[in-house]
Amino acid sequence: MNKRNFALVLIVLISILCGILLGNLLSKRANGSGLSGMMAHSKVDELLSIINSQYVDTVNVKQTTEEVMTDIASKLDPHTVYIPAADLAAVNSELEGSFSGIGVQFNIQNDTIMIVAVISGGPSEKVGLLAGDRIVKVNDSIFVGKKINNEKVMKKLRGKEGTKVKLGVKRHGTHEILYYSITRGDIPVNSVDIAYMIEPGVGFIKVSKFADTTYSEFLNAIAKLRNQGAKKYIIDLRENSGGFMEQAINMVNEFLPAGRMIVYSKGKSYPRSEAKSDGKGSCINQPIVVLIDEFSASASEIFSGAIQDNDRGLIIGRRSFGKGLVQQQMKLYDQSAIRLTVARYYTPSGRSIQKPYERGKAEDYEMDIFNRYKHGELDSKDSIHVTKTVKYKTIGGRTVYGGGGIMPDIFVPRDTSEYTPYLNKVINYGFLYQYAFQYSDKNREKLKPIKNWQQMSTYLDGQNLLSDFMVFAANKGVASNPRQINISKRFLLLQLKAYISRNLLGEPGFYPLLYKDDKTVKMALEELKKKQ
């Protein structure tokens, strides 16, 4: 065989070999998800391209693409979501440890931005802004009216660290507009709302979410309470919708002896991953009670489930939300992202607490809380509609159930004895909050010497808050109803006092006053008294 023929045969053999390899590769992809995923991707692109070039009318292809992405995500499960690039920073900031801004808490009332509180040590405090100030101008432009909303305000006030914003402010008792140039800086986002001694020896910690800094905040709270004599703890996870799983795992680790399962997760393409305690926690022997309700979800349920399955403490309240799916956020090429469900998580006993759902029927899933209310579950333990066919055992042999949230060890129903149509109206319209702000604003100088919530409560007990509020609500269109007001009197006064106290003293003035007569908190204290 001459060189020319040998080269030709070699080329043919290489071509055949490449063909076999390519065929095998395509066959594998066609049988798996690779090729089908590529085809689906190219089909969507092809359709959008055809629409863009040949459709009878002009179409905003970018907007249509965003809608398609949202629709695809919604077809998977209730917690997989597509996040447009424009929204990603705002969505992520909810769980980050800080953001850059001017350092105020605000509320929009009467189409005006009202500063409710100035964050200590923040940029606004340094230039002299005060609680009660009204922001009427931003960068020399009028910024009041019906078109302003929370999103627009945050876009104006937040920004890169070191950038400046000029505010025009109206202050009570001052006729002219005051102008402040504020340099934006890092503002902490706290997830531990309050940590205080609720009774001698008992520390109370309320955690509102599981964010980047939650574990470090929690450790600081434990250290502070221990220095004040805490030997038992109440962890309040009510209305905590979750966040980062790692933060919940680290928190649980503080309470468990070595080698205990905290949580494990697994999925189709997500190998089983386990988290176990290392025995180095700071509260391994301290009694603990965890408070949950129907809005406690995800990482809150990981914490509660680990405490319950390890028989480490009591869970008190109402059945939790039932979110047992793990999401990973993946950035796309245009800086948008998808939070994709990649696994389910399981409590130490092996139960999935994810409640049932049908793919593509997010609306039915979201109606679950309303259906619980309609069935009477929030008012009676016997009305709880959750499957109990699959039983699991805690480490101590107690029976627990999966498939629909964490069932508390002690059920505490809602207290509806003080509910009236009048109360519902003034709550729904935000009149309690509005009146409290107005009262705080008018009486700020009088209230300034008050140093704690006990003093505030005593002082406000001597004022005509309720009658004054009734006039305020009537002027807003809610007529007084003496019979209903009498039924709701205690609740109305408690809320008004707590909001006023918060406006002057911050969270340390709010929660201890609000929870003074809370039935779930009282139950927790009673149970802890039994623990030596």
- Separation in Å, CA 153 to CA 115, 137, 393: 12, 11, 50
Active-site residue (options: 77, 212, 293, 309): 309
Of the candidates 299, 221, 314, 282, the residue with the CA atom closest to the CA atom of residue 523: 314
430's tokens: 């935000």
Per-state percent for the chain, helix, strand, coil, to nearest 5: 40, 20, 35
Q: CA–CA separation, 265 vs 410, rounded Å?
A: 27
309 flagged as catalytic: yes
3-state secondary structure of 64: helix
Q: CA–CA separation, 405 vs 347, rounded Å?
A: 11
Burial class (CB in 10 A: 0-12, 13-18, 19+), 389: exposed
The strand pair at 202-207 and 232-236 is best described as parallel
442 flagged as catalytic: no
100's tokens: 């850059």
Q: CA–CA separation, 153 vs 145, rounded Å?
A: 12
3-state secondary structure of 55: coil
3-state secondary structure string, 66-106? HHHHHHHHHCCCCCCEEECHHHHHHHHHCCCCEEEECCEEE
Do 344 and 267 form a contact (C-beta atoms < 8 A)? yes
Active-site residue (options: 124, 191, 277, 298): 298
Burial class (CB in 10 A: 0-12, 13-18, 19+), 14: exposed
133 flagged as catalytic: no
Active-site residue (options: 323, 368, 497, 501): 323
Do 295 and 238 form a contact (C-beta atoms < 8 A)? yes
Of the candidates 323, 311, 326, 377, the residue with the CA atom closest to the CA atom of residue 353: 323
Catalytic residues: 298, 309, 323
